[in-house]
Chain A
Amino acid sequence: MENKGKLRAPVSQKPLVIEKPVDPSYIGGTISIEINEKKVTVPLGTTILDACKMNGITVPTLCHHEDLCVAGVCRVCVVEVEGMRTLQASCAYPITSPIKIKTSTPSVRKARRHIIDLMLSEHYGECYSCLRNGKCELQYLAKEYGVDNFTFGHVEAPRYELDESSYSVIRDMSKCVLCKRCVRTCIDLQEVGVLESVERGHNTRISTFLDKPLLDVICINCGQCINRCPTAALRANDPSDEIWAAIDDPAKHVVIQTAPSPRAAICEEFAMEAGHSLTKELNTALRRIGFDKVFDTNTTADLTIFEEGTELVLRLYKAIVQKEPVALPQFTSCSPGWVKFLEHYYPEQIDNLSTAKSPQQMFGALIKTFYAEKAGVKPEDIVSVAVMPCSAKKYECNRPEMNDSGYKDVDYGLTTRELARMIKEAGINLPEMPKSDFDSPFGEASGAGLIFGATGGVMEAAIRSIYEFITGNKTEDAFANANVTPVRGFEGIKYVELPLGEKFGPVPDVIKHLVPNWDWLKGVTLKVAVAHGTANAKKIMDDIKAGGKFSECHFIEFMACPGGCLGGGGQPIPTTPEIRKKRAQAIYSEDESLQVRKAHDNPNVVKLYEEFFTDGPCGHKSHKLLHTHYVKRGRYIA
């Protein structure tokens, strides 16, 4: 990640990030050092921690996180450096001279144990009643480094009140060990800046602006802080008890839609290595838990391509042919974290957001209308659950405008982690489940919908369809195997130009009533961009404000989370660049294994337009159910 290797001690609202030379080629050369009396050579500027890792020596860490800038505050990683009076935090010490390091001396071991003891003395709660039992980094440290009692006591009552105001993130500061990963995530990684240390000394705690509840500050609900919290001080707002109750209620018809990213990551919750999709095993498990129907969110991802793609065409038509003022570039609106980020930080640009709902909310509206009718179930009896890699989806489904079906379109957003717990509670070992398909009437979706889970996926899915719609050629003609690789990968911002050429195909039937032909696109080069993580989004937005190259884009995909949905705030913990890469591989290889890989080839979606949205994409009915509006929130909240 961008912040990796940046060295800055404390965190603050306006961080001055001091570069340290991580790239050895930057200053060049290597340096010989000694670790535990063994001579090794490392690139100049490597931290002691990385040097140890490279040489197979484990140094415990807590505040350190691969995605984040250096803090050096927990002090668990201290080591001895010969000639230095004090122990050095190995995560924060860049090697620039031929030092001699010792990682396990009596004073180092004692210091580590003391530090863990001290953290435990203030860490409220019991391991066995904790959500993170078995997945807690503090618990792990205590176990690995010889802590067998509370040497310095143990706090007996919670020090702080629980903040349960947010639909997405619950803050239990009594469990906080002040590693400040959340602060660094919020300020440096995401550049949202909702969390910061307040007060000092023993009263130091992580808080929000004026100590307001999380719901009332400009939190975008991305949940990246949860993914990086070493303890259970931050967790998602878990609706699984309500969902169990609905499942147990015979009068309720409980349906679940599953997004592409959870299925690519849930294996990690079942002691498997990252990078294995368990799509069809998950379908079976969900039925065994008691869900009445299991649907694929990719269906409405395909639908999103129709709606958002048509909207783009209409905007371009308006701008190029009708010469009317229209907000361009069009921004994607699938990521509720990004949407809220824009509403807070760039409210003047909400017109650029596609009015198309996210796949989750489209599905919600469809389930309580189209599906209810088709299945003969009363919409008020349906409980609609969405399994998402995302904590912001919990907030999204609770937005007051999300009731176009006449009911709350999606009742509960459930994270990957929460679903994994439900599966375990039901006594199911997910990886051993037999495979089964999604339920009709939506069935299986396209690979285009699937890749929504990775950064660049929405753009790739859009290109696979728009390119064919406009040019009449196959995507495969332009991109081998229909893999639009220029928009793939974890680069923070991707920019692609796509010349549309001179020859066009016929306008497809489904949008024929909207544009007569494609001739007006002659000579146009489609300019698109992709950003993931709101810090990168900010760069693009500021460039647009300044009239830079991104202001000339036509279409930009934004995802709030690093890596896109697969790195979402509801995904299994831990998260690292390596893990996110593996999840992406799982998604892309599943895409390649599918027969249908383009949204417009999804027969179920085509049928939806024939049977239900008969006036086509962006038509009257689709506008009522599949499109939404946004709120200019601004940054200053009363």
Chain B
Amino acid sequence: MEKKNREGSVIFSPYIKGESIIKAVSLKREDILFELRESKLKGRGGAGFPTATKWTLVAAASAEEKYVVCNADEGEPGTFKDRVLLLEYPELVFDGMVIAGYVIGAKLGIVYLRGEYEYMLKSLEDYLETMRKENLLGKNICGKVDFNFDIKIRLGSGAYVCGEETALIESLEGNRGEARNRPPYPVNTGFMGKPTTVNNVETFASVAHIVIKGGSWYCKHGTDKSTGSKLFSVSGDCDKPGVYELPWGTKISELLKLVEAKDTKAVQVGGASGICIPKSQFERIFGYEDAATGGSIMIFNESRNMLHVLKNFMEFFVEESCGQCTPCRIGNVKLLEGVEMLERHEYTFGYINKLKELGKTMQLSSKCGLGQSSPNAFLSILENFKEEIFNNGGNNGK
């Protein structure tokens, strides 16, 4: 696997394969958890749950078997940073998983790899094999007596919902990919009913660096509430799309400049389930306290029709809802129908307002994150691009 010359202060900073494992096994579990807590690292998949808290809960759960699961189901439209990590920096991801196994007391880690990434399966498995040969996996890892841990890779089958951690676990167990009721949470009742930590690819990669360089070093990057850096998958109307590592706190406008975007009208932050930010708000910053994102940044320039953009997102959700709960299964269809009404200029403001209320209900009452976030695009585009949508072609709503 060839590394491209990527710049970054944290994740893309120099790292030697296995070094964090060697250091970790010389430390006590509590010490690693302490550093993690110091780092204030939050889950990089998008939800932003504190990683130290999650691991502490799993470590504290009393069970014979525990599992580490790496969520590599990278399915959010517009995100492709996990692909880069797995292809170019597998040492960071797998080392992070081994550390998780050490901290929580698991013997097995499972990578849930997006079905479309099947092409990298062979090289990843070869990589794991070299780790086994180097005693970075297997028995008594790096000489640590009784620390046995191995990693398996499982392929997803293309359902977006399986990026949701409980649906992912269901899928791993061979079941239909549908979110579970929570509580109980995977930290207590996860894979095969055992305590499980499910973390994003990028989270594991961050952990590897934190173990080497320490929590306080990590905190030097980013903002108070959003420490460290973030990988951004940038696509859309710009000259330099790609994966960028930037510290949290970067302004949207700064990113746009970096990727040489021109005439930008809107930025969709956080993929289809994220929010659409208009030009007037480009001074906002990326961070959990403001524009949170799992990494997907889609740029739309002045030539784009925001209703088309929205329709595309809604079609995505209608198809990708698992179909389990009512608000998400039918609600998304109703929102899409609303968009089509707007397209045809056959709407009443009364009905569109009802759909906005429905969107809020979906956010509140859907069973999992998919349904809860699926109206975000609808609500934010209708709010932020009122002029364009309702004055579309000079036709006001009937």
Bound-complex Cα distance A50 to B184 (A):
17
Q: Which of B321, B324, B329 has the largest number of chain A CB atoms within 10 A?
A: B324
- B174 contacts chain A at the CB level, 8 A cutoff: yes
A107-B360, A114-B331, A200-B319 given. 17 additional CB < 8 A pairs?
A: A10-B175, A73-B325, A74-B326, A75-B327, A75-B365, A75-B366, A93-B181, A94-B184, A110-B361, A111-B327, A114-B327, A118-B326, A152-B354, A199-B323, A200-B159, A200-B322, A203-B323
A118 near B327: Cβ-Cβ < 8 Å? yes
B361 and A10: CB pair below 8 A? no
28 sample A-B contacts, Cβ–Cβ < 8 Å, listed by A number: A9-B170, A9-B178, A9-B181, A10-B179, A10-B180, A12-B176, A18-B189, A75-B327, A76-B326, A86-B363, A87-B364, A87-B365, A92-B181, A111-B365, A114-B331, A115-B361, A115-B365, A118-B331, A118-B334, A121-B330, A151-B354, A178-B326, A201-B318, A201-B320, A201-B321, A202-B323, A204-B323, A204-B329
Bin chain A's interface residue count: 35 or more
- Given the contacts A12-B170, A75-B366, A119-B326, A96 and B183 also touching, CB distance less than 8 Å: yes
Contact across chains for A89 and B183 when beta carbons are under 8 A apart: no
Question: Shortest beta-carbon distance, A83 to chain B, in Å?
Answer: 14
Q: Which of A18, A111, A114 has the most CB of B within 10 A?
A: A114
| CB atoms of B330 and A202 under 8 A apart | yes
**B 219-236 to A, binary, CB cutoff 8 A, 1 in contact else 0:** 000000000000000000
The answer to whether A119 and B330 touch across the interface, beta carbons within 8 angstroms, is yes
Q: A86-B365, A89-B367 are in contact. Are A18 and B193 (CB under 8 A)?
A: yes
**B368 nearest in chain A by CB position:** A9
Contacts of A87 in B (CB 8 A): 364-365
Which residue of the partner chain, among B166, B319, B334, B367, contacts A201 with CB atoms under 8 Å?
B319
Contacts of A478 in B (CB 8 A): none
A-B CB contacts (within 8 Å), total count: 143
Assess whether A115 is in contact with B327, with CB atoms less than 8 Å apart: yes
Nearest Cβ in chain A — how far from B297, in angstroms?
Answer: 24
With A and B bound together, what is the CA distance between A119 and B181 in angstroms?
Answer: 21
Q: Mark B358-382, 1 if CB is under 8 A from A, else 0.
A: 1011011111000010000000000
Please give the residue numbers on chain A whose beta carbons come within 8 Å of chain B beta carbons, in ascending order. 7-14, 16, 18, 20, 70, 72-76, 78, 86-87, 89, 92-94, 96, 107, 110-111, 114-115, 118-119, 121-122, 151-152, 177-178, 196-197, 199-204
Given A93-B183, A197-B176, A202-B318, check contact A10 B324 (CB 8 Å). Answer: yes
Per the bound structure, the CA–CA distance linking A75 and B362 in Å amounts to: 10
- Chain B residues within 8 Å of A, Cβ to Cβ: 159, 161, 166, 170, 173-176, 178-181, 183-184, 189, 192-193, 317-327, 329-334, 354, 357-358, 360-361, 363-367, 372
Pick the residue among A107, A118, A151, A152 that contacts B364 (CB under 8 A): A107
Interface contact B184-A10, CB-CB below 8 Å: no
Q: Which chain B residue has the least Cβ–Cβ distance from A95?
A: B183
List the A side residues contacting B326 at CB < 8 Å.
73-76, 115, 118-119, 177-178
Cα A86 to Cα B317 with chains together (Å): 20
Q: Is the interface of B mostly helix, strand, loop or mixed?
A: helix
**How long is the Cα–Cα vector from A94 to B331 in the complex, in angstroms?**
27
Contact of B325 among A14, A18, A75 (CB under 8 A): A75
- Of A7, A20, A86, A110, most B-chain CB atoms within 10 Å: A86
- The docked-state distance in angstroms from the alpha carbon of A87 to that of B170 is 23
Q: Are A202 and B176 in touch, CB under 8 angstroms? A: no
Does A197 lie within 8 Å of B367, measured CB to CB?
Answer: no
Q: Assuming the A-B contacts A10-B178, A92-B181, A93-B183, are A200 and B321 also in contact, with contact meaning beta carbons closer than 8 angstroms in the complex?
A: yes
